[in-house]
Amino acid sequence: MAEEIGLFEAIYRQRAIRHFKPDPVPDELVHKLIEAGTKAPSGGNRQPWKFLVIKDAELKRRIGEYYRLGFEAAYGSGDTTSGALQPAVRRSATSLAETMHQVPLLILACIEHDGSAAATGRGGSIFPAVQNILLAAQGLGLGSVLTSLHRRYETEIKELLGIPENVETVALLPIGYPAAGSRYGPTTRQPVAEIAYLDRWGAAL
């Protein structure tokens, strides 16, 4: 069910949701999410984004397997302790890696390009759209999280889904209603005084 929440409330309580109910997500809400993504800014207003919505069980199974392999390559398998992830985050992320195929739907955010080598700046024309989708999901009573470990198997996934050569997959967004116990913030972040400077690096703001 949609929630009437203010802009700053949505921003301040934004959080990764990795546990989902099995309930299907209505098509009208999927369209609303994608539409919210298209309201984001992009370089030169070129709007190079493409969004692939994946509901098919077999496709989700295969993508989920690639994602799990990518997760294990990045963080290890089983109960391996990784300093790259806090314990609670690791448990949650491991659970998602093991159940990605069970999420009601996946949105693969992609960017169409001219065939040139990937550059950091390219993400500036797709990540704002991804953030819009994450915020819109919250407002619609849904949950999601920005993931990208599937990119370790970019070639295989593009072949599986028939994605053209001049399209790069950027983020994989699992979408569903948050499971019991999964909720949005408030979140804890570094204080502004520790991460922002005035005029010169290190000078207090």
Instruction: Give, rounded to a whole angstrom, the gap between the first and last alpha carbons of the chain.
Output: 41
Read off the pTM.
Answer: 0.92
pLDDT digit string, tens, across residues 166-183: 999 999 999 999 999 999
Class for the domain spanning 7-195: alpha beta
Q: Ramachandran region of residue 13, left (φ > 0), alpha (ψ -120 to 50) or beta?
A: alpha
Residue 156: other Cβ atoms inside 10 A: 15
Is the predicted pLDDT of residue 196 greater than 70, yes or no? yes
pLDDT digit string, tens, across residues 34-91: 999 999 999 899 999 999 999 999 999 999 999 999 999 999 876 555 557 788 888 9
Q: How far apart are CA 64 and CA 144, in angstroms?
A: 15
pLDDT digit string, tens, across residues 114-124: 766 665 557 78
Is the predicted pLDDT of residue 151 greater than 70, yes or no? yes
Domain assignments of the chain as residue spans, ordered by start:
7-195
